[in-house]
Amino acid sequence: MARLRFYPHRTADATSVSWHSWWIERNGDRSVLPPLLTGWDYASCETVGISVDLCEEALFESTGLESLDDLEVVVVADCPAVQQRFIAREPLTGHERGTVDVALQLPPGQVADAVKLSAFLVLSRNIEELGYRVASHQGARIHSSEPFTLRLEGDSSRFPTEPVPFSELGYGNAPLTVITVYEEMSDSFMGGVRLLINTEHQAWRLFLDPQAASHIVGLLRFDVVRLLVAKVTNEVGNADESSSIEGSVGDVLERMCQGVLGMGLKSATHLYRDDPAHFEVLLHDRLNPFAGLIS
Q: Examine the fold and report which residue of 102, 123, 151 is the final residue of a domain before the chain moves on.
A: 151
- Chain segment 55-97, per-residue pLDDT in tens: 888 888 888 888 888 899 999 999 877 778 999 999 998 777 6
Q: What is the pLDDT of residue 90?
A: 94
> How much is the average pLDDT of 125-152?
86
Asked, for residue 3, whether it belongs to a domain, the answer is no
Query: In this structure, are 277 and 197 located in the same domain?
Result: yes
Report pLDDT digits (tens) over 22-34. 999 998 899 999 9
Per 3-state DSSP, the chain is made up of helix, strand and coil in percentages (nearest 5) of 30, 25, 45
Closest by Cα among 19, 16, 88 to 50:
19
- With cut-offs at 50, 70 and 90, classify the pLDDT of residue 45: confident
Residue 266 has pLDDT above 50, yes or no: yes
> Model confidence at 3, in pLDDT bands (50, 70, 90)?
low
What is the pTM (predicted TM-score) of this model?
A: 0.57
Is the domain of 58 the same as that of 179?
A: no
Q: So what's the pLDDT on residue 77?
A: 96
CATH number where 30 lies: 2.60.40
Q: Is residue 50 part of a domain?
A: yes
Q: Are residues 145 and 182 in the same domain?
A: no
Same domain, 27 and 56: yes
Label residue 89 left, alpha or beta by phi (over 0 means left) and psi (-120 to 50 means alpha): beta
Q: Which tens digit of pLDDT belongs to each residue from 141-167?
A: 989 999 999 988 654 456 777 788 899
Q: Which of 91, 120, 151 is the last residue of a domain?
A: 151
Banded model confidence at residue 113, pLDDT cuts 50, 70, 90:
confident
Tally of CB atoms within 10 A around 186: 15
Q: What residues pair up with 123 in beta bridges, in sequence order?
A: 71
Highest mean pLDDT among 40-54, 195-209, 224-238: 40-54
Q: Is the pLDDT of residue 240 over 70?
A: no
Domain range for 48:
17-151
Task: Clarify whether residues 22 and 83 are in a common domain.
Answer: yes
What average pLDDT does this structure show over 125-132? 80
pLDDT at 73 (0 to 100): 95
**Nearest of 151, 200, 160 to residue 43 by alpha carbon:** 160
| DSSP code of residue 42 | T
How far, in Å, CA of 227 to CA of 230, rounded? 5
Are 146 and 76 in contact by the 8 Å Cβ rule? The answer is no
With the CA atoms of 230, 231, 237 and 240 taken in that order, what torsion angle do they form, in degrees rounded to the nearest 10? -60
Cα–Cα distance for residue pair 36/280, rounded to 1 Å: 38
Residues in the chain: 295
Name the band, by pLDDT with cuts 50, 70 and 90, for residue 242.
very low
Strands 161-164 and 193-198: parallel
Task: Give the confidence band of 239 by pLDDT, cuts at 50, 70, 90.
Answer: very low
**Separation between Cα atoms, residue 106 and residue 84, nearest integer Å:** 10
* 207 vs 234: CA distance, rounded Å: 27
Element (H, E) at 226: helix 210-235
pLDDT score at 4 = 57
The pLDDT-based confidence of 278 (bands split at 50, 70, 90) is very high
- Name the domain count of the chain: 2
Tell whether 2 is covered by a domain. no
Of 185, 165, 193, nearest to 246 by C-alpha is 185
Which phi and psi angles does 150 have, rounded to 5°? Answer: -105, 115
Distance CA 104, CA 79 (A): 14
% of residues, the chain, pLDDT over 90: 28
| Boundary (domain end) residue, out of 151, 182, 210 | 151
